[in-house]
Amino acid sequence: MKIDVLVAEIGSTTTVVNAFHNLKSENPVFLGQGQGVTSVEKGDVTIGLHEAMEDLRRKLDASEITYDRFLATSSAAGGLRMTVHGLVHDMTVKASREAALGAGAIIRLVTSGRLKKSDLRRIMDIRPNIIMIAGGLDHGERDTALYNAEKILELGLSVPVIYAGNTDNRDDIEEIFADYPGRLYVTDNVYPQVDVLQVEPARRIIQEVFEENIVHAKGMEKVHELVNGRILPTPGAVMESAKVLKEVLGDLMIIDVGGATTDVHSVTRGSEEIARILLSPEPEAKRTVEGDLGVYVNRKNLIERIGEEKICQELKISGIDLEKLKPIPETPLEKEIIRRLTREAVFASVERHAGTVRNLYGESSGRKSVAEGKDLTEVKYIIGTGGALTRLENMEEILSDIHLQGRGQKLYPKKEAEVLLDTDYLLASLGVLSLQNKEAALKLMLKSLKIEDKGSEPDVSVH
């Protein structure tokens, strides 16, 4: 059976392979999905990939599968580990962090100012896949970024380094890293002016570096035996889908509950009212990753957050055997446990993602309201993806209850926000597909979200 494109999503616990056909026609088709267990611990993810492809072959009732292109997204092998080093925490450090997270990275260390000996020791312990250096407005402070670059060079690492700071430093940075055994990437300043975030160029570079280096990650060495196209970090691919969908649906957020992490992506500028009192700028496209909120790898954390006794009372069971919980729940009880953990992961991750309004009091000025963080009040759609939200029944109820959690002055979506589910579990795969087949990917996204069933027929032409 000949297929246009296969896209694999190599997750921390499961690997899926999606088949797409007729991508150049008016009616692109999602043919089906195969699933396997991620085999990164065995040192070779292609074992899980072959398992998922065999499952797909059986579901399609095909004797064999051939394809023109095979793309992939991956969050296996620990994801894309980064350390970020800037000047002022609320300015260049924040901007660098937003660029990294938006690209799909897992931030293991963030520092501001000159690197200390303890910071350098932590970098060595982390062994990041990428190091980002930023700092200084354009034509502003220069010394901190140059000092940090020299100290990082002295560590003797060979990982890719991205410079995204004061443009006046570019020649000096290139001279410092002239004999560096790794590769240096120089891109636009992530914080060129006061209250201006410019994170997209750095995001693109991070994804480029990921594609060039993912093959060297543990268990990923053989991935190119199957994949002959682009490989993106899974969270970065979901962000690509979020940005494409925003063009036709308007302001939205996507919540991706996985086995190891829960990611929240929002694409919204927020309200003008909140923008006027915002203490520091927020990117239009923002991602937060909660590395402690996963329904399988980090299930123990979620159970501790809720309380095992409380879960047992709610589900009317005597206890939870963590060791017997499977990556893919099978029994009704296993599904109920995962459903409860998913609810906790969704509410906790949105609380961390959303901004807050708070009041300041001064002797002369009296009370003054200020806002910090991401304003979600203009979000029109709350979209759920990931295995937990798309494979269990009635998960819309969890997303519909999000607005009830926004007590006090949290900047949560309003109750009018509409809930959509990625019913075919495709947003990550379609995100990487959209980089080359945007029109087809968008149509498939809308089909998976069942937009037509809700009486909405947006113009799907994108440019």
- pLDDT tens for 390-435 read 989 899 999 999 998 877 789 999 999 999 999 999 999 999 999 9
Helix (H, G, I), strand (E, B) or coil at 207: helix
Ramachandran angles phi, psi of 397, nearest 5°: -60, -40
Domain ranges of the chain: 2-77+218-225, 80-215, 235-424
Mean pLDDT calculated for residue range 370-385: 95
Amino acid identity of residue 113, one-letter, is G
1.10.10.60, 3.40.50.300, 3.30.420.40, 3.40.50.1450: CATH of 2-77+218-225: 3.30.420.40
3.40.50.1100, 3.40.50.2300, 1.10.8.420, 3.30.43.10: CATH of 80-215: 3.40.50.2300
pLDDT at 91 over 90: no
pLDDT at 12 over 50: yes
Alpha-carbon distances of 246 from 136, 212, 380, 448, rounded to whole Å: 32, 29, 10, 15
Residues 6+ apart with CB under 8 A from 314: 340
- Tell me, yes or no, if the two domains 2-77+218-225 and 80-215 fold the same way: no
Per-residue pLDDT tens over the stretch 249-302: 999 999 999 888 899 999 999 999 999 999 888 999 999 888 788 888 888 899
Q: Is the dihedral of CA 175, 177, 181, 185 positive or negative?
A: negative
Strand pairing partners for 74? 10, 233
Residues 6+ apart with CB under 8 A from 118: none
As a CATH number, domain 235-424 is 3.30.420
Find, among 8, 76, 78, 70, the residue nearest to 39 by Cα: 76
Give the Cβ contact number of residue 190 at 10 Å. Answer: 32
More confident residue, 89 or 419: 419
pTM, two decimals, is 0.82
